[in-house]
Amino acid sequence: MSIIVQKFGGTSVADSEKILAAARKAIRTQKKGHQVVMVVSAMGKNTDELVRLAREITEEPAAREMDMLLSTGEQVSVALMAMAIHSLGHQAVSLTGAQIGIKTDSSHTKARIQSIETDRMRAVLDAGKIVIAAGFQGIDEDFNITTLGRGGSDTTAVALAAVLGADACEIYTDVDGVYTTDPRVLPEARHVARISYDEMLELASVGAGVMHSRSIEFAKRFSVPVHVRSSFSDTPGTMIVADPEAPDQPVCGAAMLKNEARVTVLGVPDRPGAAITVFSKIAAMNVTMDMIVQNVGADDLPATLKAVEDATRELGAEGFNCDGEVSKISVVGMGMATQTGVADRMFRALAEKGINILMISTSQIKISVLVTRDVAPEALRTVHEIFGLETEPASLEAGGGDGPTEPHQAAAAANAVASIQGMEDLVIDEITLDASDARITLAGVPDRPGLAARVFEEIAAGGIVVDMIVQSIGWEGHANISFTVPRKDLDKCIALTTELASRLGCSAPTSSAAVAKLSVSGIGMRSHTGVARRMFSSLAEVGINVEMISTSEVRVNVVVDAAQGEKALAVLKKEFTDVTV
Ligand code: ADP
Ligand code: ASP
Ligand code: MG
């Protein structure tokens, strides 16, 4: 019999009326002949309230006790949901994470799922009852209660769908699907009928809070089609599946991470192993970071500063500074991997609004810029508009892709699940070397709005395709911009940028005629903070210097000297053999 997993978020179970409405939805689904597993979040803002209570007692609650506390929110709602179903004359059994057998590691408040038992759930389902699973929680090998990180009920839902080989995983929430950006921030955001795993993964990791990004990693790994829809209406929602809605569209969505902090380590000696000193200390604190000039979540700032202070001392760097009032604006889209002129359009649009870009980092399908927090909403609106996100892409076929009738392979994937030990372990599927690029660096460019737009427009006008871009702040009021271009275009690009540099009043560009770009791609790249550290330390050990770095949710790229390319490839392949599929 087919299994459907239905997840109800906090607002969807905020009071008894809503709990009863959710119960009716599950019963209707069961009446259509499906077995139903409900995954339920804590009621309304209950988790926030519990966090607040803990903080009233102490500034630094023990993580284990935090999990003990936070898990109670979901325990309340599963019990009430079971009662609701009983009251409507149907049968249901509520289960905590521990009762289901959701085994996690012991990293309290951000635990990762290792395995899930299915026997008990199947027995309940086969007895004709609805399973009501507590979201967001699990148990470690010592029977301690763990939680999966804020928003983690999505991850519980997709993981259960994966192990049960469910036919559908429906995420009921307070919006009727995924939009081109948060509709609460920009009312002109457009509802999308379909989005690919990779796009959703990147969007979730750069601020689209509608889905927990780790849930999308599961969905991708086990081919679970995810249907995001409204608890309060019957509109079709959004399908998150393998293929994008409009593959040629350069940008499918934009997002904002409002509370970011920027930490700059100044005068780091440019030698192999310098980056690893900084990154390993930050990774040890379990802080996720974007790299080059690390840009960390403002909440993680105290821990990061401590790590950076240690690293600065150890490296003999000049010092460091930080800015806790910045936001990150990102655009994501499959199409940008194969199209030019996406980045410079974004930079130009921001420049025209007088918005200064503090940092840039690009990956295959994502461009992120850092701006001061006061202009962040305006920056989001600007990029949303320049890429025409409020209007439906022209290439979209009529009615393409919504509704739960999408083809899926979840059942087949479930067989694979049984053989996987750590369900949320890091998985690397590809390590590649691309030695066809050259690097150009413009250092000490006077930093003002429009700088990046100018640089990349002129290069685009010269018909040169830019791949990776990294811009960071150098000394006060000056920026460093590095980017890679095809080697055949290097001379032309040097001529162009030399001329540009003299107009901008900065020194001539430096370049490296032959660089090698190494990409490590897979699942869990960013949330496993150790990936970058392992890359740097293994390269540093053999004396290979990293010239540029960029990261995304699915890939970490590093640029090294071309002569070292093959060696670096071999080193990385060896380093990651244990997690490569
Ligand atoms: P739940 O409690 O159901 O898990 P969340 O609050 O976690 O709900 O997620 C839903 C919210 O996500 C929406 O209310 C919306 O404000 C926000 N959101 C952020 N980005 C997006 C987006 N791109 N599309 C839709 N909603 C978004
Ligand atoms: N209740 C938890 C939270 O608020 C988990 C969730 O809702 O997904 O973060
Ligand atoms: Mg949520």
pLDDT tens digits for 247-279?
A: 888 999 999 999 887 777 666 666 666 666 766
- Residue 10 Cα to ligand 2 midpoint, Å, equals 7
Q: What is the pLDDT of residue 64?
A: 97
The closest ligand to the CA of 177 turns out to be 1
For 386, residues 6+ apart whose C-beta sits below 8 A from its C-beta are 345, 346, 349
> Does residue 48 have its Cβ closer than 6 Å to ligand 1?
no
Q: What is the pLDDT of residue 376?
A: 96
List CB-based neighbours of ion ligand 3 within 5 Å.
9, 151
Ligand 2 pocket test, pick from 70, 71, 96, 210 with the greatest ligand atom count within 8 Å of Cβ, gives 70
- Residue 9 Cα to ligand 3 midpoint, Å, equals 6
What CA–CA distance (Å, rounded) separates 148 from 108?
A: 8
Q: What ligand 2 atom has the least distance to the C-alpha of 212?
A: 8
The closest ligand to the CA of 204 turns out to be 1
- Residue 151 Cα to ligand 2 midpoint, Å, equals 4
Closest C-alpha residue for ligand 2 atom 6: 151
Q: What ligand 2 atom has the least distance to the C-alpha of 42?
A: 1
Q: What ligand 2 atom has the least distance to the C-alpha of 48?
A: 4
Give the range among 169-178, 275-284, 314-323, 412-421 with minimum mean pLDDT: 412-421
- The answer on pLDDT for 234 being more than 80 is yes
Average pLDDT estimate for 544-567: 85
Sheet holding 145-147, edge to edge: 113-116, 102-104, 137-139, 145-147
Q: What is the pLDDT of residue 209?
A: 93
Strand partners of residue 560: 516
Average pLDDT estimate for 324-332: 91
Average pLDDT estimate for 184-204: 96
Which candidate, 146, 28, 24, places its Cα nearest to that of 424? 146
Mean pLDDT, the chain, integer: 87
CB atoms closer than 10 angstroms to residue 564: 19
The angle formed by the CA atoms of residues 227, 15 and 36, to the nearest 5 degrees, is: 40
- Residue 209 Cα to ligand 3 midpoint, Å, equals 7
Give the range among 125-134, 179-188, 321-330, 346-355 with minimum mean pLDDT: 321-330
> Does residue 208 have its Cβ closer than 6 Å to ligand 1?
yes
The angle formed by the CA atoms of residues 417, 419 and 425, to the nearest 5 degrees, is: 70
Ligand 2 pocket test, pick from 12, 38, 41, 113 with the greatest ligand atom count within 8 Å of Cβ, gives 41
Our separate counts of H helices and E strands in the chain read 17, 24
Instruction: Burial-class residue 391 by CB neighbours within 10 Å (0-12, 13-18, 19+).
Output: exposed
Chain segment 23-43, per-residue pLDDT in tens:
999 999 999 999 999 999 999
Q: What ligand 2 atom has the least distance to the C-alpha of 136?
A: 5
Cα of first residue to Cα of last residue in the chain, in angstroms, is: 32
For the stretch 524-555, what's the b/e string if a residue is b when 16 or more beta carbons lie within 10 angstroms of its beta carbon? bbbbbbebbbbbbbbbbeeebebbbbbbbbbb
- Residue 88 Cα to ligand 3 midpoint, Å, equals 27
Ligand 1 pocket test, pick from 45, 48, 173 with the greatest ligand atom count within 8 Å of Cβ, gives 173
Average pLDDT estimate for 14-29: 98
Strand partners of residue 519: 432, 557
- The answer on pLDDT for 476 being more than 70 is no
The closest ligand to the CA of 136 turns out to be 2
Exposure of 134 in the CB half-sphere (CA atoms within 13 A): 28
- The answer on pLDDT for 503 being more than 80 is yes
- Residue 425 Cα to ligand 2 midpoint, Å, equals 22
The pair phi, psi for residue 532, each rounded to 5°, is -60, -40
Give the range among 113-127, 192-206, 431-445, 468-482 with minimum mean pLDDT: 468-482
- Residue 277 Cα to ligand 2 midpoint, Å, equals 35
What CA–CA distance (Å, rounded) separates 395 from 328?
A: 29
Q: What is the dihedral of CA 357, 529, 148, 377, to 10 degrees?
A: 0
- List ligand 2's pocket residues with C-beta within 6 A: 9-10, 41-42, 47, 73, 135-136, 150-154
Could you list the beta-strand ranges (E) of 242-299: 253-266, 289-290, 295-297
> Does residue 152 have its Cβ closer than 6 Å to ligand 1?
no
- DSSP secondary structure of 435-481: EEEEEEEEEEEEP-TTHHHHHHHHHHHTTPPP--EEEEE-STTEEEE
- Residue 210 Cα to ligand 3 midpoint, Å, equals 6
Ligand 1 pocket test, pick from 18, 182, 210, 384 with the greatest ligand atom count within 8 Å of Cβ, gives 210
For 207, residues 6+ apart whose C-beta sits below 8 A from its C-beta are 182, 255, 256, 257, 258, 328, 330
